[in-house]
Structure 1
Amino acid sequence: MLRWQIAIQEYRGNMTIVHKAGNIHKNADGLSRWELPNTPDNPDYVPTSAEPQIPIEGINITDVGTEFFKEVMSKHTCVMALCSRMLIKTILLECHDNTYSRHLSEDRTMERIKTCAWWSSWRKDVIEYCHSCDRCQKANKATGKRFGLMIHIQEPSTPWEVPNMDWVAALQPGGNKSYNASLVIVDRYSKTPIF
Structure 2
Amino acid sequence: MISLLKYLKPYKLQVILVAVFTLLSSVLELYLPTLMADVVDVGIVNGDMPFILRTGGWMIACSLLAIIMTVGKAFFASKTALGFGRDIRRKLFVKVEHYSMDEFGKIGSASLITRTTNDVKQVQDVLNMMLSLMTRAPLMLVGGIVLAVSRDAKLSIIFLAALPILAGLIFLITRKAVPLFGVLQKKTDRLNLVLREGLTG
- Determine if the TM-score, normalized by the shorter chain, exceeds 0.5: no
Higher RCO (CA 8 Å, separation ≥ 6 residues): 2
TM-score by length of 2: 0.20
Rg comparison, structure with higher value: 1
Higher strand share: 1
